[in-house]
Amino acid sequence: MRNVKVQKAVITAAAREQRALPLQSVVDRDGETKSALQIVLEEAVAAGAEEICLVICPGDEPAFHAAAGGLAGRLQFLTQSAPIGYGHALYCAREFVGHEPFLHLVGDHLYVSDAPKRCAQQLIEIAEAENSAVSAVQATRENMLPYYGTVGGHRVANRKNLYQIENVVEKPTPTEAEQRLVVPGLRTGHYLCFFGMHVLTPAVMDILAEHVAAAADGGGVQLSPALAALAAQERFLALEVTGRRYNIGVKYGLLTAQLALSLSGGDRDEVLTQLLDLLARTPH
């Protein structure tokens, strides 16, 4: 990666079965009602992204333009014409990315930082300091492996939250994870799963181009195999950011994300009071 500031961001929101998730309304940490998309866009802007590309399904631009609120003017919309995989959706932004490193976020995750800096800002600072592609990861229980890409590797010397990636597997089975993805130092039964946030080099687009060409017969193109190839080709790190990611596409995901946002903001005491009252009234 050239030692430059990461100024572009690509957000994918083209999955047919999850296309409506970024349009859902939530209350943010400051008590304001916004779309999930707007909160994701604010994450990118706060991290320094000056140009943002949103990859969506054909026909979805009016809804996403409205959901972006005041940030709609920053967006460039691209469409994934056919549902042939997450990796292909990202590849649709190849011309937008050009030859620059870029921040990549997914549209169905919300992020809550436990530090003064937002999660994406933490990630970009490490990527620029290390002059390397970096994926955000979160130590995740084994039972959640079916929902995430997972990495294996080893801890970078003298860095407790930074890892050199050696393997990447999409939604591994527990047996596969135990064989290939155990990371020394993590709690037993926990693995480093993707956070839905990456800083990637333009080399990933070259790899995806090969995968798209190979899948010309109608097969799907996923991102994890391309990231595995990237790890074999160049230095590729994983950062345990100080914060949590919330997948709003899983059962009770939107509810959990809303609670996390509420409990991290100024209305924490009020929300806790309401939760305690609800628990007291719930029959056991």
Q: What is the pLDDT along the chain (284 residues), one digit of tens a residue?
A: 456 579 999 999 998 877 889 999 999 989 999 999 999 999 999 999 999 999 999 999 999 999 999 999 999 999 998 888 999 999 999 999 999 999 999 999 999 999 999 999 999 999 999 999 999 999 999 999 998 999 999 999 989 899 999 999 999 999 999 999 999 888 889 999 999 999 999 999 999 999 999 887 667 899 999 999 999 999 999 999 999 999 998 889 999 999 999 999 888 888 898 888 888 887 76
- CA-nearest of 109, 42, 68 to 260 is 109
Determine the 3-state secondary structure of 249 from DSSP: coil
Residue 185 located in a structural domain: no
**Region at 196 (left for phi over 0; alpha for psi -120 to 50; beta for the rest):** left
What is the count of structural domains for the chain? 1
Neighbours of 116 (CB within 10 A): 8
Chain-centroid distance of CA 126 in Å reads: 16
- Residue 60: which CATH number? 3.90.550.10
Count Cα neighbours of 219 within 13 Å in the Cβ-side half-sphere: 10
Cβ–Cβ under 8 Å, residues 15 and 56: no
Q: How many CA atoms lie within 13 A of 152 on its CB side?
A: 14
Domain that holds residue 250: 8-119+196-281
d(CA 52, CA 83) in angstroms, rounded, equals 22
Q: Please give the model's pTM, rounded to 2 decimal places.
A: 0.92
Determine if residue 163 is left, alpha or beta; phi over 0 gives left, psi from -120 to 50 gives alpha, anything else beta. beta
Distance, CA of 149 to CA of 156 (rounded, Å) = 21
**Residue 250 counted as domain residue:** yes
**In the 8-state DSSP scheme, what is residue 116?**
S
- The 10 Å Cβ neighbour count of residue 67 is 22
Q: Is residue 151 part of a domain?
A: no
Helix spans in 98-169 (H)? 119-130
Q: Looking at the domain assignment, is residue 74 inside a domain?
A: yes
The verdict on residue 225 lying in a domain is yes
Among candidates 17, 50, 103, 26, which has minimal Cα distance to 262?
Answer: 26
Domain membership of residue 70 (yes or no) is: yes
In this structure, is residue 138 part of a structural domain? no
User: Domain for residue 142, yes or no?
Assistant: no
Q: Return the structure tokens found at 143.
A: 């039972």
Tokens of 62: 């009016």
